[in-house]
Structure 1
Amino acid sequence: MSRLSVPSLQVPAGALAPALPPRRRAALALAAILGTGVVVGLVFGLWPRLDLAVTSLAFDPALRLFAYTYTPSLQAIRDVNDTIVRAVAISAGVILILWLAAPRVAAARLPQALSLRAALFVLATLVVAPGLIINGILKPFGGRPRPIEVTQFGGTLDFVPWWSPFGRCDSNCSFASGEMSSAMWLLAVAVLLPPRWRPLGIVAVLAWALAVGGVRIAMGGHFTSDVLMSAVITALTVWVLHALILRPGERTA
């Protein structure tokens, strides 16, 4: 007796979860960034004492200090973040110089992802977000005292909400967090990964940034709103510069 052959049903790859077009992905990413910024800004703007409540969890009222300030493991996270940021910046600089000095060699030897536009994008996001916006404008002129400087935690200055420009900090102020911005800047690298690895890379950067931001809160260096708003500002900068620098090249290709 001959066997009845049953034709196999083959589902094309991606049919069950079709990939979103680039414009749609970009729009969703922008909506997520802006939505997070609005929620964080409103919550900590309308209830500013929430910042004090979260920070108080890391403050020892008996000793009148932040107990985790000199914890080696937390300091190690700061050191690792600084090393990663420096390594990525130097690598992007070397790639940029190679493209400018020997474009034929760069085209022949470097992977497609390490293009001239990619190097420009990575360096531009570093200069604009952590460099210009956070450390060049907000921290010197924001006026918000750090947690260790306010009266609630043993300091001498009055607490002000994240949006207030009337704090009495003179320089290197609390809003916004430079280290959080540098950690979130690594999103510029994550979005350059191949599509199959890009979501994992973005999730890894977000998790790492939360760890760095948590360390700064635990040490009394920043309020929660400083950390979260810094993340939003940096992510938005990465999105805008990606649209200006990389997306025109993608359309040309």
Structure 2
Amino acid sequence: MSRPSATPLRVPAGALSPATPPGRRAALALAAILAVGAVVGIVFGLWPRLDLAVTSLVWDEARRFFPYTYTQALQTIRDVNDGLVRAVAVAAGVVLILWLAAPRVAAARLPRALSLRAAAFVLATLAVAPGLIINGILKPHGGRPRPIEVTQFGGTLDFVPWWSPFGRCDSNCSFASGEMSSAMWLLSVAVLLPARWRPLGVAAVLAWALAVGGVRIAMGGHFTSDVLMSAVLTALTVWVLHALILRPGRAA
């Protein structure tokens, strides 16, 4: 009589290499943000003419203007970004109001991910990053002229590096990019996705933000360092507020 064959032990995928714990992921994300910020800040700080070199690629010297300024496809990207940001902000506001006005209804009807803390986190990042830091402090007081305003590209003002406070722009200045910040703000939604979808959501937001930032460079609205540093500042704000609002009291 033959012996029955033993059933092979099946080990779930990933059991031998457990997923990175949340604290570790948070630390890695912070390290990546700071590393990108340091590289961008140092490179464009030590070699500021890199900004001019990149912008010159989209400048028509013969006709003395930025030919992509009035391209409809690029304007459509700006419009879509504006509409997307408004829609997400309104949705987060509705969720927040529902939790405050009718918490029992919110608890019974809303998905678990749409918590009061989640809505507050999304709106807080919008208020702090694109709102306060970029459009409230840096753009009104940074003083950096936009590409279309500097003498190298047909304007009347002197070019200054991203870190310089001595530019002669009076308001709505080049550093940093408000539209790039609003696009990167969508990271606050991506990090709320279920764990299996979160990397895809973050990658999609980064790709979208690069598209929006590229549009602003192509149109002569911002230098490359304006766009990249705006992305870094916004991502850092999302990280900090995520730790303060969604992970209070936990070591990050």
TM-score bracket, shorter-length normalisation: over 0.9
Q: Does 1:18 align with 2:11?
A: no
So what's the TM-score if we normalise by structure 1?
Answer: 0.96
Question: CA separation in 2, counterparts of 1:92 and 1:153?
Answer: 41
Question: CA separation in 2, counterparts of 1:213 and 1:136?
Answer: 19
Could you tell me which amino acid in structure 2 is paired with residue 23 of structure 1? G
Deviation at 1:3, TM superposition (A): 7.8
Q: How does 1:76-87 map to 2 (within 5 A)?
A: 76-87=76-87
Deviation at 1:226, TM superposition (A): 0.1
Could you tell me which amino acid in structure 1 is paired with residue 140 of structure 2? P
**Could you tell me which residue of structure 1 aligns to residue 140 of structure 2?**
140
**Could you tell me which residue of structure 2 aligns to residue 55 of structure 1?**
55
**Could you tell me which residue of structure 2 aligns to residue 213 of structure 1?**
213
How many aligned positions are there? 250
Question: CA separation in 2, counterparts of 1:101 and 1:13?
Answer: 44
**Could you tell me which residue of structure 2 aligns to residue 243 of structure 1?**
243
Unmatched runs of 5 consecutive residues or more in structure 2: none
Q: Does 1:34 align with 2:29?
A: no
Deviation at 1:5, TM superposition (A): 2.6
**Could you tell me which residue of structure 2 aligns to residue 119 of structure 1?**
119
Could you tell me which amino acid in structure 2 is paired with residue 232 of structure 1? V
Q: How does 1:90-239 map to 2 (within 5 A)?
A: 90-239=90-239
Question: CA separation in 2, counterparts of 1:148 and 1:16?
Answer: 56
Question: CA separation in 1, counterparts of 2:115 and 2:159?
Answer: 46
1:151-197 residue CA offsets vs partner (Å, 9 max, x unmatched): 00000000000000000000000000000000000000000000000
Question: CA separation in 2, counterparts of 1:3 and 1:32?
Answer: 56
Question: CA separation in 2, counterparts of 1:8 and 1:40?
Answer: 52
Could you tell me which amino acid in structure 1 is paired with residue 14 of structure 2? G
Question: CA separation in 1, counterparts of 2:22 and 2:223?
Answer: 35
So what's the TM-score if we normalise by structure 2?
Answer: 0.96
Question: CA separation in 2, counterparts of 1:176 and 1:242?
Answer: 22
Could you tell me which amino acid in structure 2 is paired with residue 32 of structure 1? A
Unmatched runs of 5 consecutive residues or more in structure 1: none
Question: CA separation in 2, counterparts of 1:18 and 1:84?
Answer: 36
Question: CA separation in 2, counterparts of 1:246 and 1:234?
Answer: 17
Question: CA separation in 2, counterparts of 1:7 and 1:110?
Answer: 44
Question: CA separation in 2, counterparts of 1:57 and 1:82?
Answer: 26
Could you tell me which amino acid in structure 1 is paired with residue 61 of structure 2? P
Question: CA separation in 2, counterparts of 1:18 and 1:105?
Answer: 37
RMSD, aligned α-carbons: 1.3
Deviation at 1:199, TM superposition (A): 0.5
Question: CA separation in 2, counterparts of 1:210 and 1:11?
Answer: 40
Could you tell me which amino acid in structure 1 is paired with residue 203 of structure 2? V
Deviation at 1:51, TM superposition (A): 0.3
Deviation at 1:8, TM superposition (A): 2.0
Could you tell me which amino acid in structure 1 is paired with residue 47 of structure 2? W
Identity rate of aligned residues, in percent?
86
Deviation at 1:11, TM superposition (A): 1.8
Deviation at 1:12, TM superposition (A): 2.0
Deviation at 1:17, TM superposition (A): 3.9
Q: How does 1:65-76 map to 2 (within 5 A)?
A: 65-76=65-76
Could you tell me which amino acid in structure 1 is paired with residue 95 of structure 2? I
3-state SS in 2 of match to 1:248: coil
Deviation at 1:18, TM superposition (A): 1.8
